[in-house]
Structure 1
Amino acid sequence: MAKIDLRNKVVLVAGGAKNLGGLISREVAKHGSDVVVHYNSDSTKQAAEETLKAVQDLGRKAILIQSDLTKVENVTALFKEAKDKLGRVDVAVNTVGMVLKKPFSETTEEEFDTMSAVNSKSAYFFIQEAGKSLEDNGKIITLATSLLGAYTGFYSTYAGGKAPIEHYTRAASKEFGERGISVNSVAPGPMDTPFFYGQESPEAVAYHKSASALGGLTKIEDIVPIITFLATEGWWITGQTILANGGYTTK
């Protein structure tokens, strides 16, 4: 039986300093896990330190690791440092992503390359390294986007960059399953975080709020229980992309 709880486990959260990643880091600590809090930019350092302290205040161990996960050597080093300092990694959650809302005809090659690296390449090699590094019966969870089920313009490099995660998830789940490792992705709807508002006009925000069947934007508090479920009682779910968006869109 591959089911695990989170007591005395190690959870690595890429992009784990703030917003959804920060809440995941805190929540798994409440469940009894030690936490690897990864962050990318210097501007996130203060939030990362606050998350570190929050985990430690819950009586769990935590470490901070800053790196750019679009470079494969940094992904490898992330998992190595986690295992060197905390002894193991049981659950790997990747919340890393970057949004660009721009007309297809105006997207530059540089923007395309950046979006592909952040949203697709880093996800691929994170899953790859997690498959090598996790303990048997581990869990790999990648954050995608519910735009994978939408028919819309302007998000070609964001939704397009996230789209391969579905197949990476399926393929990895087949290959890692013999070790009891489940691999899933969670695709939230537009989330009520600064990550969302920076790209949207007031009119677009109003539309997104009105588009979900249950009303309003997705909250990070709506997504975290799905992550913890997949890491525990939901262990039998694997190879899936779960659209969690209050009825914003479906496939």
Structure 2
Amino acid sequence: MINLKDKTVIVTGSSRGLGKQIAIEFAKKGANVVINYNSNESEALSTVKEITLNEGKAIAVKANVSQNEDVNHLFEKTIEHFGKVDIVVNNAGIMMTKFLKDFSAEEFDKQFTTNVKSVFLMMKKASDKLEENGRIINISSSTSRLMMPTYAIYSATKSAVEQMTKVFAKEIGSKGITVNSVLPGPMNTALFTNGKSPELINKIAALSAFNRIGNVEDIIPVILFLGSDESQWITGQNIGVNGGMA
């Protein structure tokens, strides 16, 4: 059974959606949890309340993790409150889908800033602040393994994250720190379902071996394992968790 008691984890973008559920499940396993948010303060505080009402330990820290100063602030507040950082889950991200020819340069930059620069800055800071034998878990996407029209830019951001994961794992391995990415398939979260018709969702679900889209409950056990001591020999891996979709 996975035991994360007294480990301290930062989960970026964890006021709602998959990030929120990741944070809650880490808390259930005994971890001290930092709920990071950029704009959704009420949802972040609600998540903290949900954790603490169930005898967990959590704080909320506002930080735009695509900005270096905010990343510094996030780590400082975490260490100030909990004394250390053991695990970083880089979950913050945005998804914009349309044909490549229809993207503006500004929209391209926005996705790369949010999805790639934030992971770079968090891993860079973690290299100095993470405890030895720490864990870095990047949330990527199985779209990087597919050729799905309208996903060109989003998939490119996730491919960049996966390549950084592999290389950084070797760069930081001497500290016993592991670096891995989890690649969920489509999930029943707002990030995926917003703007999609039921017909389109069903068509995408048919790509899975199980003829359905995933739920957060399908993804989180893998993330918890990668955050545990038992995963010490797994690093530099991009792990698909997608029901056989890719």
The alpha carbon displacement at 1:59 in A equals 2.2
Identical aligned pairs, as a percentage? 38
Per-residue CA distance 1:152-172 (angstroms, 9 max, x = gap): 221111111111111111111
Query: Partner amino acid for 1:154?
Result: T
Aligned to 1:235: 232
CA distance in 1, matches of 2:168, 2:53: 35
The 8 Å contact of residues 89 and 133 in structure 1, kept in 2 or not, is answered as yes
1:77-126 deviation line (CA, Å, top 9, x unaligned): 21111111211010110111111111111110110010110111111111
- Check conservation: 1:100, 1:199, Cα contact below 8 A: no
Quick check: 1:186–1:241 contact (8 Å CA) kept in 2? yes
How far residue 187 of structure 1 moved from its aligned partner, in angstroms, is: 0.6
SS in structure 1 of the partner of residue 85 of structure 2: coil
CA–CA separation in structure 2 for the residues paired with 1:126 and 1:214 = 35
d(CA) in 2 for partners of 1:80, 1:190: 34
Query: How many aligned residue pairs are there?
Result: 244
Correspondence list, 1:53-202, <5 A = 53-202=49-198
Alpha-carbon displacement from aligned partner over 1:181-239 (angstroms, at most 9, x marks no partner): 00000010011011111142333212111110122111111111001111112221100
More relative contact order in 1 or in 2 (CA 8 Å, sep 6+)?
Answer: 1
SS at match of 1:138: strand
- The answer for the alignment partner of 1:52 in structure 2 is 48
Residue number in structure 1 paired with 2:4: 6
CA distance, structure 1, for counterparts of residue 110 and residue 97 of structure 2: 14
Partner of 1:211, secondary structure, is coil
Q: Residue type matched to 2:10 in 1?
A: L
Given that 1:5 and 1:231 are in contact with CA atoms closer than 8 Å, whether structure 2 keeps it comes out as no
Q: Please, which runs of 5 or more residues in structure 1 have no aligned partner?
A: none
Q: 1 CA distance for matches of 2:155 and 2:68? A: 22
Give the TM-score normalised by structure 1: 0.93
Cα contact 2:63–2:73 (8 A) shared by 1: no
Unmatched 5+ residue regions in structure 2?
Answer: none
- For 2:217, the equivalent position in structure 1 comes to 221
Q: Indicate which of 204, 214, 228 corresponds to 2:200.
A: 204
Runs of 4+ aligned residues of structure 1 deviating over 3 Å after TM superposition are none
Q: Give the alignment's Cα RMSD to 1 decimal.
A: 1.3
Letter in 1 for 2:61: I
Corresponding residue for 1:27? Answer: 25
Question: How far apart are the structure 2 equivalents of 1:74 and 1:85?
Answer: 16
